[in-house]
């Protein structure tokens, strides 16, 4: 047990401890105040402890072409039946495959006007994710796309998997990256890829959580999983991702292959790429924090490093230390302020160039997105049904962080 909070903060939270066992994260929370919020987290986490016996494992080989804006990938997923009933099918989220009606497109375009940029420079695009085949042990399996928005992939396993039993699936697929601002798309010199691959639905005592996808916030819910990813990209591209880079090899065709591993489970695997990224780093409490930036934005990168470090120290005292070795901050053409993935946050490029009198807003934004490493990534909250856990609790404690740093008038 490390860095337990002292008595100064027990009016809010008496004790939060982090423990890493063989495969599972555990949080223990006891609240003195704000019990209505914290009990929600406890219930979520207790459910995870009782039923998530084994973390899924993803092995992904992906080739990203930033000229054609496509990805070709093979993916092996090993998962355990963590429910209390036999299963004969598995389900995946295919977020880039979302199909939009004309009415939805018009609404999104009206909504986009709020951000004061043209989110779709070549007209509305949402990209795509096309499955080329699914197999297990070399045997082809039947599959089909389900749900009204066409984002759920059902795979018939060809056999019944008992509770505690496991299955291994191989998927081939291609991704079309849209020309669009946001967490999934490319614009100018940056390509950002969040939830770009087939993600196994959560399976627990309630069954499969096959939630629909709506594009207005973050309706995500996924198991913590181990990732082993080989990314082949153009040689000049700087890739910033979840996990830790283990090795890099240069290929004869002008590409390079990056081998990335997650040493601890992650909720998802995100990345962003640009040939123009530069980086500044610092190390604090055993964590290497990397702030990537574009030409002219070095001062903002330094502020981002300090904000992330300060928030990590605050949350380490209040809850638990950030358990991973690295944390990345990178600019992207988001239109909105920021967004999060495991070990990675993206900040809109315009935020890096805000005037000095908005420096506290910059601090708030970087700290808020960093805080999601606790409230969604570690807690494993259901962002579709229980957004208040990751957004509500994180926002509440970020206000405490700002008050602690700047005083009550912050």
**pLDDT of 180-230, one tens digit each?**
999 999 999 999 999 999 999 999 999 999 998 877 677 889 999 999 999
Extract the runs of DSSP E, i.e. beta strands, from 294-392.
326-332, 338-341, 344-348
Mean pLDDT over 91-105 rounds to 93
Looking at residue 111, its pLDDT comes to: 82
CB contact at 8 A, 130 and 98 = no
pTM, full prediction: 0.87
Residue 117 has pLDDT above 80, yes or no: yes
Looking at residue 149, its pLDDT comes to: 87
Average pLDDT, the chain: 88
**What is d(CA 135, CA 142) in angstroms, rounded to the nearest whole number?**
8
Running DSSP on this structure, what letter comes out for residue 179? B
Comparing 24-33, 67-76, 241-250, 367-376, the range with the smallest average pLDDT is: 24-33
Give 356-407 pLDDT, tens digit per residue.
999 999 999 999 999 999 999 999 888 888 888 889 999 999 999 999 999 9
Residues 6+ apart with CB under 8 A from 257: 230, 231, 232, 248, 249, 251
Looking at residue 15, its pLDDT comes to: 33
Higher pLDDT, residue 116 or 273: 273
Looking at residue 53, its pLDDT comes to: 63
Structure tokens at 184: 């999934």
Model confidence at 115, pLDDT cuts 50, 70, 90, reads confident
Residue 67 has pLDDT above 50, yes or no: yes
User: CA 243 → CA 62, 75, 210, 246, 266, distances in Å?
Assistant: 15, 17, 26, 9, 8
Mean pLDDT over 128-147 rounds to 97
Range from 23-37, 96-110, 154-168 that averages highest in pLDDT: 154-168
Model confidence at 83, pLDDT cuts 50, 70, 90, reads very high
Task: Using the structure block, give the residue that is written with the tokens 């849209």.
Answer: 178
Residues in a beta bridge with 61: 74, 230
Looking at residue 340, its pLDDT comes to: 96
Give 315-348 pLDDT, tens digit per residue.
999 999 999 999 999 999 999 999 999 999 999 9
What secondary structure does DSSP assign to 35-97, as a single string?
HHHHHHHHHHHHHHHHH--S--EEEEEEEEETTTTEEEEEEEEEEE--SSS-EEEEEEE-GGG
Domains of the chain in start order, with CATH, are 57-274 (2.60.40.1730), 277-406 (1.10.390.10)
**What is d(CA 115, CA 119) in angstroms, rounded to the nearest whole number?**
8
Running DSSP on this structure, what letter comes out for residue 264? S
């Amino acid at each position: 047990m490390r860095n337990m909070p002292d008595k100064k903060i027990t009016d809010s939270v008496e004790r939060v401890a982090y423990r890493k066992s063989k495969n599972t994260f555990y949080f223990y929370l006891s609240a003195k105040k704000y019990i209505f919020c914290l009990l929600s987290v406890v219930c979520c986490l207790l459910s995870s402890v009782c039923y998530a016996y084994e973390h899924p494992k993803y092995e992904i080989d992906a080739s990203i072409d930033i000229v054609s804006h496509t990805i070709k990938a093979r993916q092996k997923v090993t998962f355990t039946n963590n429910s209390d009933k036999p299963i004969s099918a598995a389900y995946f989220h295919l977020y880039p495959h979302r199909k939009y009606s004309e009415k939805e497109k018009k609404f999104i375009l009206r909504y986009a006007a709020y951000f004061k940029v043209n989110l779709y420079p070549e007209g509305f695009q949402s990209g795509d994710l096309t499955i080329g085949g699914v197999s297990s042990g070399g045997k082809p399996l039947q599959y089909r796309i389900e749900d009204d928005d066409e984002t759920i992939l059902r795979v018939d396993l060809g056999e019944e998997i008992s509770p505690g039993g496991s299955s291994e699936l191989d998927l081939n697929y291609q991704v079309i990256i849209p020309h669009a601002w946001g967490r999934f798309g490319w614009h100018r010199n940056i390509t950002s890829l969040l939830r770009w691959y087939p993600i196994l639905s959560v399976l627990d005592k309630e069954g499969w959580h096959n939630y629909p996808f709506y594009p207005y916030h973050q309706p995500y819910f996924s198991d913590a999983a181990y990732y082993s990813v080989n990314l082949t990209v153009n040689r000049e591209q700087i890739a910033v991702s979840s996990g830790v880079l283990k090795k890099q090899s240069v290929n004869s065709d002008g590409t390079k292959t990056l081998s990335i591993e997650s040493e601890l489970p992650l909720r998802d695997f995100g990345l962003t790429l640009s040939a123009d990224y530069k980086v500044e780093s610092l190390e604090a409490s055993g964590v290497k924090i990397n702030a990537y930036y574009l030409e002219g934005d070095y001062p903002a990168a330094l502020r981002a490093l300090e904000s992330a470090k300060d928030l990590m120290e605050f949350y380490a005292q209040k809850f638990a230390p950030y358990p991973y070795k690295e944390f990345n901050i990178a600019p992207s053409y988001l239109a909105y302020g920021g967004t999060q993935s495991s070990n990675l946050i993206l900040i809109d490029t315009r935020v890096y160039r805000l005037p000095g009198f908005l420096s506290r807003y910059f601090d708030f934004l970087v700290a808020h997105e960093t805080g999601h490493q606790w409230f969604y990534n570690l807690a494993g909250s259901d962002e579709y049904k229980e957004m208040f856990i990751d957004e509500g609790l994180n926002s509440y404690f970020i206000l405490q962080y700002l008050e602690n740093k700047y005083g009550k008038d912050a």
